[in-house]
A and B are shown apart, each in its own frame.
Chain A
Amino acid sequence: MDIELRGITKRFGEVVANSNVNLTIRAGEILGLLGENGAGKTTLMNILSGLYRADEGEILIDGTPARFDGAGDAIRAGIGMVHQHFMLVPVFTVAENVVLGVEPTGRFDRLDIEKAREQVRQISAEYGLEVDPDAIIEEIPVGIQQRVEIIKVLFRSAYVLIFDEPTAVLTPQEVTEFFAIVRSLRDAGKALVFITHKLHEVREVADRISVLRAGQIVGEGDPKTATDADLAEMMVGRQVRFEVEKEPVQPGDVLLDVSDLNVLDEREEMAVNDVALQVRAGEIVGIAGVQGNGQTELVEALTGLRPLLRGRVSFLGEDVTQASARRRHQLGMAHIPEDRQRSGIIGEFNIAENMVLNSYYDERFSSGPTLRWLDVYQQTAANVAAFDVRTSSIFDHADHLSGGNQQKLVVARELSRDIKLLVASQPTRGVDVGSIEYIHKRIVEARDSGVGVLIISTELDEILSLSDRILVMFRGRIVAEFDGDKATVNEVGLAMAGVTAEQAA
């Protein structure tokens, strides 16, 4: 079955997400759809899977125009999508999730759960995707959850499978496993679309590559011949420097000293387990690891946002184990939170209010109980100019900024004062390439001026290019340490999967 997208255009208000996109998807082939964040990949695939309706253009299935009024229509036409954020009901069982929407029923609308289990087992066996039909989704690991998503799509007899950023939550080893599954599906005659912004992955697994930039298809590539540089240039629209330029490290005194740290997560389970680490002045320490291995809890514990179960945190020689987030902030600890939308900015506040969100109480901006707004505006205007936040007015709502500019706003807020340590969690997640380069540059500048930097990222590339020293976190523990100049993707990747040096040997 072949699918052709012809002249697809989709607007959200005044924003054009897709503009005149033409794309062909063929059976027995893996199409890599490459594009950076905000290029319109997900919107395009949501149109194909019936969730959005295109404003212009048409979808042809084997040459016949099709009209999707909802996800149901696309499913019936044999198109299935595995979303970046899994679309699984956490409290349902695997079988319930798989059959949801196409349930086998008996009399009186009775749900035939026995039959559902049987059907799940069948598909598991057929495609070699092992799962327990009675397991509750929230109790199984992410890798297995993704398997359930695939079974779900196959259960609906999909011929076309769309994967939206499928590797974001997987370890390098799980990625390899996942690629094997994708290839076997292709060999079984399915048509596959693999959406990603990771160059090497698309080169590894795709049979054909289409590049999307600013809502338009800007080029095609052959994975066998195209280089990372070619693809990146197509994706970004200009040449990209992959290497971050930085001076050799000159570590100073120990700023942050953490020992014996144990932290619980929301479910009262051990998220951070006996972690010890140090950050010195003038060095960048990177913490690598797959998402959900305790990084969030570690950062929150270091910045005073989450209580410790046990352990000691000292900062500038002072014991701050019990100190509040405000106190640590005052001592010179800056924090770029991992999810700016959720916890970094306040969308309906203007830029000035966001700029002083954690320093409004400072003498610079307030006297007694009242705020001095004029001083706030002066400082904001200076910071906005200094950190290249693109906006027409500091009274604009933060909501109206692009992701990259929102992140620069956060970076400006944290770096525009006199700090000793920067804790940066996912500093460039969901940000365009230009902003990534800019933010990396500012972080390195901070380090060169003697600030200690702790970067936590799930993007291995980011860790490798920035860090002077790399720690790897796995299941709440620091399982390995590498020298930033010598570490290789392979070594760090194995450690991220929990494989120790001895086991690997």
Chain B
Amino acid sequence: MSDDPKRETLSRELLKRAVVTRFTVEEVVIVPIFAVIVALILGGITMLATGVSLGTIQAAFGSLFTGSLGSISALSETLTAAAPLTLAGLGIALGFRAGLFNIGAEGQLLIGGMAAVVVGFSLTGLPLIIHLPLALLAGALFGALWASIAGWLRAATGAHEVITTIMLNLISFRLVDYLLRSPWIQRPGRADPISQSVLESAELPRLLLWIDTNLRLHAGIFVMLAAVALIYWLLFRTKLGFEFRSAGANPDAARYAGMRSGFLIVAVMAIAGALAGLAGANQVLGVLGRASPNFSAGIGFDAIAVALLGRGHPIGVLLAGLLFGALEAGGRQMQVSAGVSIDLISIIQALIIVFIAAPMLVRTMFPWAFQKERPADKGASRAPPSQPASEESG
């Protein structure tokens, strides 16, 4: 009898989607845009402060643009730089969603890259169709294993992943130094730590050689896109993703709901490590062709910024990765043609993190761009993991 009104409410309620508030739009769109602009301006001020002339600064910003978007070659460089940043950033973002702060992408990237190199030069006589996937797989697998150490420690003993991943990073630096000097990896005839070269059958094929043989864009870009799609599907469409997000938003509630928190922690770290390992494999198989000390070049740390800027969302991470790739590529051009050190880019990236993580700071600086009153929102002040968790569950 009471079914009719009930059904009515039911359908009415079903139709009512959560209204996207102005506040959310501000947090997700306006704050990041302002963060990037302010960081660029502060970069300019830094140049001024170090005695770079106005003309040169103009040239620097000009080449930052042309070097990233101004030509086919610039675009190729941007995409090439974006691939590892996005891959590793996805892993870190996944960690944020699941409540884990994985600072260890740098180390996971190194270990994964080393594994990919070893597979890349040691297996001879395989066709590309087998050798390349094997090398990529080795990168992902070893990245995952390395990250799982931190995950397992967290799950089994409660050791905080921030500390353990920092330590694992430092260990991986030494370990790679050691491996690069060991006779079965070091290139014959060399005294410095450098690995043998990856065989052609394990290289990620260059894509734009038909336009210009100098274009470095390689098939890693497809790995990146596949990873973005896969992580999106995982987070918002699968049971495992639901568990990740639950454990991240409220680990106690997740445990009470019967989710296996230990398994989830290890799984998240393993997937994040696999993505970082793929980023490393992407570098050695697609760009460098071999491993040398510090071939990770800080990508694992920049990826933290990418994940934050992307607000922990796969699409956001992709956009942030492209932006950072553009900064990287433009920065190189800037160094060459304007004579401004590429380290300026690190300053800009660090400032972007600060402004993203401190939306209140941006709001204070540009009060005219935002609504006056922010709604009373209990969860809004919690930093990275507190993304609007349910926006994508549709």
Q: Do chains A and B touch in the complex (CB under 8 A)?
A: yes
Residues of A within 8 A of B (CB): 12-15, 304-305, 324-326, 329, 335, 337, 342-350, 352-353, 357-358, 360-361, 366, 369-371, 373, 377-378, 381-382, 384-386, 392-397, 399
Contact in complex: B258, A399 (CB < 8 Å): no
Once the chains are docked, how many angstroms separate the CA of A349 from the CA of B387?
10
CB contacts (< 8 Å) of A342 on chain B: these are: 250, 252-253
Q: Which 3 A-B pairs have the closest CB atoms?
A: A13-B376, A326-B258, A395-B18
- With contacts A329-B258, A347-B378, A358-B257 taken as known, whether A381 is within 8 angstroms of B14 at the C-beta atoms is yes
Q: Which residue of A lies closest to B11 (CB)?
A: A381
Cβ of B390 under 8 Å from chain A = yes
Cβ of B256 under 8 Å from chain A = yes
Cβ of B249 under 8 Å from chain A = yes
Once the chains are docked, how many angstroms separate the CA of A357 from the CA of B257?
6
Contact in complex: B242, A360 (CB < 8 Å): yes
Cβ of B237 under 8 Å from chain A = yes
Task: Known pairs A329-B258, A348-B386, A393-B17; list 16 more (Cβ under 8 Å).
Answer: A14-B375, A14-B376, A15-B376, A305-B256, A324-B258, A326-B260, A342-B252, A347-B249, A347-B379, A350-B18, A358-B256, A381-B10, A381-B13, A385-B13, A394-B16, A397-B390
Question: Can you list 30 A-B contacts (CB < 8 A)?
Answer: A14-B376, A325-B256, A326-B258, A342-B253, A343-B250, A343-B255, A347-B250, A347-B378, A348-B386, A349-B245, A349-B390, A352-B390, A352-B393, A353-B246, A358-B258, A369-B238, A370-B238, A371-B237, A378-B14, A381-B9, A385-B6, A393-B18, A394-B14, A395-B16, A395-B17, A397-B18, A397-B379, A397-B390, A399-B377, A399-B379
Cβ of B372 under 8 Å from chain A = no
- In the assembled complex, the CB of B146 is this many whole angstroms from the nearest CB of chain A, namely 26
CB contacts (< 8 Å) of B373 on chain A: these are: 13
Among A349, A371, A392, which residue has its beta carbon within 8 angstroms of that of B246?
Answer: A349
Contact in complex: B6, A345 (CB < 8 Å): no
Among B239, B254, B376, B393, which residue has its beta carbon within 8 angstroms of that of A361?
Answer: B239
Among B17, B254, B256, B379, which residue has its beta carbon within 8 angstroms of that of A335?
Answer: B256
Which of A304, A305, A337, A369 has the most chain B CB atoms closer than 10 A to its own CB?
A369
Once the chains are docked, how many angstroms separate the CA of A3 from the CA of B220?
73
Contact in complex: A344, B390 (CB < 8 Å): no
Q: Which residue of B lies closest to A342 (CB)?
A: B252
CB contacts (< 8 Å) of B52 on chain A: these are: none
Cβ of B389 under 8 Å from chain A = yes
Contact in complex: A305, B390 (CB < 8 Å): no
Contact in complex: A382, B249 (CB < 8 Å): no
Q: Which residue of A lies closest to B387 (CB)?
A: A348
CB contacts (< 8 Å) of A12 on chain B: these are: 376
- In the assembled complex, the CB of B46 is this many whole angstroms from the nearest CB of chain A, namely 37
- In the assembled complex, the CB of A354 is this many whole angstroms from the nearest CB of chain B, namely 9
- With contacts A371-B242, A395-B390 taken as known, whether A337 is within 8 angstroms of B378 at the C-beta atoms is no
- With contacts A13-B375, A395-B17 taken as known, whether A343 is within 8 angstroms of B253 at the C-beta atoms is yes
CB contacts (< 8 Å) of A396 on chain B: these are: 18
- With contacts A12-B376, A342-B252, A369-B240 taken as known, whether A349 is within 8 angstroms of B389 at the C-beta atoms is yes
Once the chains are docked, how many angstroms separate the CA of A347 from the CA of B237?
20
Among A13, A304, A344, which residue has its beta carbon within 8 angstroms of that of B253?
Answer: A344
- In the assembled complex, the CB of A369 is this many whole angstroms from the nearest CB of chain B, namely 5
Among B9, B246, B379, which residue has its beta carbon within 8 angstroms of that of A357?
Answer: B246
- In the assembled complex, the CB of B232 is this many whole angstroms from the nearest CB of chain A, namely 13
CB contacts (< 8 Å) of A358 on chain B: these are: 256-258
- In the assembled complex, the CB of B234 is this many whole angstroms from the nearest CB of chain A, namely 9
Contact in complex: B10, A392 (CB < 8 Å): no
Contact in complex: A346, B249 (CB < 8 Å): yes
CB contacts (< 8 Å) of A326 on chain B: these are: 258-260
Q: Which residue of B lies closest to A381 (CB)?
A: B10
Q: Which residue of B lies closest to A361 (CB)?
A: B239
CB contacts (< 8 Å) of B250 on chain A: these are: 342-343, 345-347
Residues of B within 8 A of A (CB): 6, 9-11, 13-14, 16-18, 237-240, 242, 245-246, 249-250, 252-260, 373, 375-379, 386, 388-390, 393-394
Among A343, A373, A381, which residue has its beta carbon within 8 angstroms of that of B256?
Answer: A343
Once the chains are docked, how many angstroms separate the CA of A384 from the CA of B9?
10
CB contacts (< 8 Å) of B249 on chain A: these are: 346-349
Once the chains are docked, how many angstroms separate the CA of A369 from the CA of B245?
15
Q: Which residue of B lies closest to A393 (CB)?
A: B16
CB contacts (< 8 Å) of A397 on chain B: these are: 18, 379, 390
CB contacts (< 8 Å) of A395 on chain B: these are: 16-18, 390
Contact in complex: B255, A305 (CB < 8 Å): yes
Once the chains are docked, how many angstroms separate the CA of A369 from the CA of B267?
15
- In the assembled complex, the CB of B297 is this many whole angstroms from the nearest CB of chain A, namely 36
- In the assembled complex, the CB of A374 is this many whole angstroms from the nearest CB of chain B, namely 9
Once the chains are docked, how many angstroms separate the CA of A449 from the CA of B242?
33
Among A14, A350, A378, which residue has its beta carbon within 8 angstroms of that of B393?
Answer: A350
- With contacts A349-B246, A358-B258, A385-B9 taken as known, whether A343 is within 8 angstroms of B386 at the C-beta atoms is no
Q: Which residue of A lies closest to B5 (CB)?
A: A385
CB contacts (< 8 Å) of A349 on chain B: these are: 245-246, 249, 389-390
CB contacts (< 8 Å) of A304 on chain B: these are: 258
Once the chains are docked, how many angstroms separate the CA of A335 from the CA of B256?
9
Contact in complex: A337, B6 (CB < 8 Å): no
Q: Which residue of B lies closest to A394 (CB)?
A: B13
Once the chains are docked, how many angstroms separate the CA of A424 from the CA of B16?
32
CB contacts (< 8 Å) of B17 on chain A: these are: 393, 395
Once the chains are docked, how many angstroms separate the CA of A366 from the CA of B239?
8
CB contacts (< 8 Å) of B378 on chain A: these are: 347, 399
- In the assembled complex, the CB of B350 is this many whole angstroms from the nearest CB of chain A, namely 28
Once the chains are docked, how many angstroms separate the CA of A195 from the CA of B250?
31
CB contacts (< 8 Å) of B13 on chain A: these are: 381, 384-385, 392-394
Once the chains are docked, how many angstroms separate the CA of A377 from the CA of B12?
12
Which of B10, B256, B376 has the most chain A CB atoms closer than 10 A to its own CB?
B256
Once the chains are docked, how many angstroms separate the CA of A344 from the CA of B13?
23
Once the chains are docked, how many angstroms separate the CA of A114 from the CA of B11?
71
CB contacts (< 8 Å) of B9 on chain A: these are: 381, 385
Q: Which residue of A lies closest to B390 (CB)?
A: A350
- With contacts A348-B386, A381-B10 taken as known, whether A370 is within 8 angstroms of B237 at the C-beta atoms is yes
- In the assembled complex, the CB of B211 is this many whole angstroms from the nearest CB of chain A, namely 40
Once the chains are docked, how many angstroms separate the CA of A382 from the CA of B11?
9
Contact in complex: B246, A346 (CB < 8 Å): yes
Once the chains are docked, how many angstroms separate the CA of A13 from the CA of B380?
13
Q: Which residue of B lies closest to A340 (CB)?
A: B253
Q: Which residue of B lies closest to A326 (CB)?
A: B258
CB contacts (< 8 Å) of A371 on chain B: these are: 237-239, 242
Contact in complex: B242, A337 (CB < 8 Å): no
Once the chains are docked, how many angstroms separate the CA of A180 from the CA of B197?
85
Q: Which residue of B lies closest to A392 (CB)?
A: B16
Once the chains are docked, how many angstroms separate the CA of A349 from the CA of B258?
17
CB contacts (< 8 Å) of A378 on chain B: these are: 10, 14
Among B256, B260, B376, which residue has its beta carbon within 8 angstroms of that of A337?
Answer: B256
CB contacts (< 8 Å) of A353 on chain B: these are: 242, 246, 389-390, 393
- In the assembled complex, the CB of B155 is this many whole angstroms from the nearest CB of chain A, namely 15
Q: Which residue of B lies closest to A329 (CB)?
A: B258
Contact in complex: A386, B18 (CB < 8 Å): no
- In the assembled complex, the CB of A302 is this many whole angstroms from the nearest CB of chain B, namely 13
Contact in complex: A370, B239 (CB < 8 Å): yes
Contact in complex: A348, B393 (CB < 8 Å): no
CB contacts (< 8 Å) of B237 on chain A: these are: 370-371
CB contacts (< 8 Å) of A385 on chain B: these are: 6, 9-10, 13
Contact in complex: A373, B394 (CB < 8 Å): yes
Contact in complex: B376, A369 (CB < 8 Å): no
Once the chains are docked, how many angstroms separate the CA of A344 from the CA of B10?
24
Q: Which residue of B lies closest to A377 (CB)?
A: B14
CB contacts (< 8 Å) of A382 on chain B: these are: 6, 10
Once the chains are docked, how many angstroms separate the CA of A345 from the CA of B378?
15
CB contacts (< 8 Å) of B18 on chain A: these are: 350, 393, 395-397
CB contacts (< 8 Å) of B260 on chain A: these are: 324, 326
Contact in complex: B16, A386 (CB < 8 Å): no
Once the chains are docked, how many angstroms separate the CA of A342 from the CA of B390?
19
